[in-house]
Structure 1
């Protein structure tokens, strides 16, 4: 019964997240998940390999 409660709770949380993203648009996702910075290395250094 505990697993059923956990599954229902997680499903409700997921539905709320999907509804919030659909309502607010991409800005909500950008707020929750900050953009991942790109790799700092421009090219491979043959001496380091």
Structure 2
């Protein structure tokens, strides 16, 4: 990602920027409620 900028950007700076916009590396194994409701409607479970 740092290759996209002309200036030197450290991994720490990129990490802080990603954290600021809410991007994490943690895997989310649960469906968000909106997708869960959609899946229920499509697949007819529960």
Q: TM-score, normalised by structure 2?
A: 0.32
Specify which structure has the higher proportion of helix.
1
Rg bigger for which structure? Answer: 1
